Amino acid sequence: MARNKYDIDETLQTEFNFSHLKRLATYIRPYRGDMIFTVFLLTISSALSMLAPVFLMKIMDEFIPDKNIAGIVIISVILLAIYFIISIILRMKITITSRLGQNIIHTIRADIFKHLQELPFSYYDDKPHGKIQVRVVNYVNSLSDLLSNGIINTITDLFSLFFIVGFMLYINVRLTLICLIGLPLLMVIIFVIKKKQRVAWQLSSNKSSNLNAYIAESINGIRVTQSFTRENENIKIFNTLSGDYSKAWMRAIRLNFLLWPSIENISTWTSIAVYVLGISWLDNGMKGITVGVLIAMTNYIGRFWAPINTLASFYNSLLTAISYLERIFETIDEPVLVKDYEGAVDMPPIKGEVEFEDVTFSYEDGLPILNDISFRANVGDSIAIVGPTGAGKTTIINLISRFYNLDSGKITIDGIDISKVTIRSLRKQMGVMLQDSFIFSGTIMDNIRYGNMEATDEQVMEAAKTVRAHDFIINLEQGYQTQVNERGTRLSVGQRQLISFARALLADPKILILDEATSSIDTETEILLQEGLNKLLANRTSFIIAHRLSTIKNSTCIMYVDNGKIQEMGTHEELLERKGYYYELYMSQYKFLEKE
């Protein structure tokens, strides 16, 4: 997916075709039994309602002239029974279609969410999260009416049209043909506005996506916004995006509403034609034209155009849904670039030997981040990775967990190429703490247990004690059962890091990956934490990224990475003696601390 942000409209990678509707049908198919039953009920309801004009015609032409009161009463009772049956059928229809529509929507949304769980980091790197969220929630919700009522109503109305036309032809062929004259004109109108409608709804969905992306970004960055008093500027951007969406939506709605007045006008014109010609033929004594016939025909004309109007509404809903379906299926079809290759096997229990062999990697074609990286970490080694910002340190540890595919080269663990094993079996044996200490909404206990759902409460507490998080946790109002907000906003940055660290440790990994694990922890806590880490790192292979060089002095090997290459590597003492890149970095930190 192309790089995108809130003020850039999304572009579809593929044009819409009818295979999208066929694909939608696969979601509907499991419920075809309920749909057929509902259509059957509505068809009966429609057929019963068609009898009313015939009964009315019979009353006007026969029972009233003959003063047949008993016949009128009988027909009235029959009509009352018919409308009672129709009301029961409509109630059943509402219940079934509502359940049916929500079940289908749930399945579509579940498919999107499941696919999003499998997509690689690169997908999320290139797209605002608000634009992803709008597809899972808003776009799927927009299909609700179409799936709950639109399809069934359309099928039913098609049957109704056959019934109506059949009854009209039965009553009078000539007047029926006059009524049908308006259909070709309606088809022309639909054909003219069809393409404009699709484009308009695509633009509307783009603007909605942009607005949602900016709202999500603004909420996530609200502390920065208020710190720099950017509220007024943000409101201006919001108003611009909201105004763009409003204009796009109004244009789409105006095009949608072209059909309804067109149908109303055509219906009125044909009704006038039937009245004028029918009364004229009635005055001239034309055979088959009676007052009852005219009343019945005008009644059927209203009924004839009502389902046409419903079909037009369904057509509008379909065009609207198409613009959302394109986005939904585009998301579901987004290729899972990092996936298990054919024939992949489960990773056996890891010992911890890691080797990079001529690894080259780039986020964008032609712009390599790593060039021919090679190194080896033996079981139990602690590998520290240092270097300037953007040098590729985090990229190296991301590749160990296979969050991205390599351009070339190979990474092995215990001599096994990690591209040949299943991703789940690989990552389950690693403990990872990334720079972003993400805390989920829920209890602190649940957050620590996130990496090992089978861990006991005692094991969770032991992990917290190891990373020195236990003391601050038990001082909270409910200890380990304290509820924290999304992203852990009730906790300090350092507290969030300690909880994330406990989460990684609880997984009891043979390979431990720490990306700036102590960056937000005060010096006193860091000293205590280091004691626990020394015990933890024993017999484990660890990769540590740290800007505080004091935390990595005891590492087995320190690698200085810059310009996509390992510029030098060795122990802390060896690199200081070499007086190269690492020496300059260490001395600059040492001088800075001296000034403090």
Give the domain CATH number at 546: 3.40.50.300
Do residues 356 and 135 make contact, with C-beta atoms less than 8 angstroms apart? no
Q: Give the mean pLDDT of 284-312.
A: 74
Residue 509 CB coordination number (10 Å): 23
Same structural domain, 195 and 316: yes
Question: Among 463, 485, 508, where does a domain finish?
Answer: 508
- Among residues 117, 103, 56, the alpha carbon closest in space to that of 82 is found at 56
**Per residue in 430-450, pLDDT tens?**
887 766 677 888 889 988 898
- In a domain, residue 327? The reply is yes
Same structural domain, 345 and 317: no
Give me the count of residues in the chain. 596
- In a domain, residue 67? The reply is yes
Within 8 A by CB and 6+ apart from 513, the residues are: 397, 400, 401, 430, 431, 432, 433, 504, 542, 543
- Among residues 372, 351, 374, the alpha carbon closest in space to that of 360 is found at 372
Confidence (pTM): 0.66
**Strand positions, DSSP E, 59-183:** none
- Among residues 157, 148, 161, 167, the alpha carbon closest in space to that of 42 is found at 157
379: tokens are 């079981």
Same structural domain, 552 and 504: no
Residue 10 CB coordination number (10 Å): 19
SS3 415: coil
- In a domain, residue 5? The reply is no
Same structural domain, 466 and 553: no
Is the pLDDT confidence value at 91 over 80? yes
The distance from CA 15 to its chain's CA centroid, rounded to whole angstroms, is 20
Do residues 322 and 16 make contact, with C-beta atoms less than 8 angstroms apart? yes
Phi, psi of 361 (to 5 degrees): -150, 145
Q: Round to whole Å and give the CA distance between 275 and 288.
A: 15
527: tokens are 């000293």
**pLDDT interval class at 520 (50, 70, 90):** low
Average pLDDT over all residues of the chain = 81
Do residues 197 and 319 make contact, with C-beta atoms less than 8 angstroms apart? yes
Same structural domain, 551 and 444: no
Q: Round to whole Å and give the CA distance between 488 and 482.
A: 11
Do residues 467 and 502 make contact, with C-beta atoms less than 8 angstroms apart? yes
Q: What is the pLDDT of residue 374?
A: 94
Same structural domain, 164 and 50: yes
- In a domain, residue 11? The reply is no
Is the pLDDT confidence value at 47 over 70? yes
Residue 409 CB coordination number (10 Å): 17
Q: Give the mean pLDDT of 532-543.
A: 74
Residue with tokens 């079909």: 311
Q: Which helix (H) or strand (E) holds 368?
A: strand 367-377
Same structural domain, 70 and 192: yes
Q: What 8-state DSSP symbol labels residue 513?
A: E
Is the pLDDT confidence value at 596 over 50? no
Q: How many helices (H) does the chain have, and how many strands (E)?
A: 24, 12
Query: In one letter, which amino acid is 172?
Result: N
Tally of structural domains, the chain: 3
- In a domain, residue 13? The reply is no
Output the CA–CA distances (angstroms, integers) from residue 97 to 104, 275, 307, in the order listed. Answer: 10, 39, 18
Same structural domain, 152 and 205: yes
Do residues 241 and 211 make contact, with C-beta atoms less than 8 angstroms apart? yes
Same structural domain, 214 and 355: no
Phi, psi of 570 (to 5 degrees): 165, -175
Is the pLDDT confidence value at 566 over 90? yes
- In a domain, residue 1? The reply is no
Phi, psi of 355 (to 5 degrees): -140, 130
**pLDDT interval class at 422 (50, 70, 90):** very high
Is the pLDDT confidence value at 323 over 80? no
Beta bridge partners of 585: none
The distance from CA 104 to its chain's CA centroid, rounded to whole angstroms, is 15
Q: Round to whole Å and give the CA distance between 495 and 471.
A: 11
Q: What is the 3-class SS of 248-270, one letter each residue? A: HHHHHHHHHCCHHHHHHHHHHHH
**Per residue in 220-255, pLDDT tens?**
777 778 777 788 888 898 898 889 889 888 888 887
- In a domain, residue 533? The reply is no
Q: Give the mean pLDDT of 312-317.
A: 70
**Per residue in 112-135, pLDDT tens?**
889 988 888 778 877 777 778 888
**Per residue in 474-503, pLDDT tens?**
988 889 998 887 666 678 777 887 888 788
Within 8 A by CB and 6+ apart from 539, the residues are: 379, 380
- Nearest-Å Rg of the Cα atoms of the chain is 35
Query: What residue numbers bound the domain in which 588 lies?
Result: 341-429+511-520+541-596
SS3 210: helix
463: tokens are 């992990």
Given the DSSP bridges, would you call strands 382-386 and 557-562 parallel, antiparallel or unpaired? parallel
Is the pLDDT confidence value at 548 over 50? yes
Q: Edge-to-edge strands of the sheet including 557-562?
A: 430-433, 511-515, 541-545, 382-386, 557-562, 565-570
Same structural domain, 24 and 68: yes
**Per residue in 155-193, pLDDT tens?**
777 777 777 788 788 888 888 888 777 777 777 777 777
Q: What is the pLDDT of residue 174?
A: 83
Same structural domain, 29 and 174: yes
The distance from CA 580 to its chain's CA centroid, rounded to whole angstroms, is 49
**pLDDT interval class at 350 (50, 70, 90):** very high
- In a domain, residue 154? The reply is yes
Same structural domain, 192 and 311: yes
- Look up the CATH number of the domain holding residue 113: 1.20.1560.10
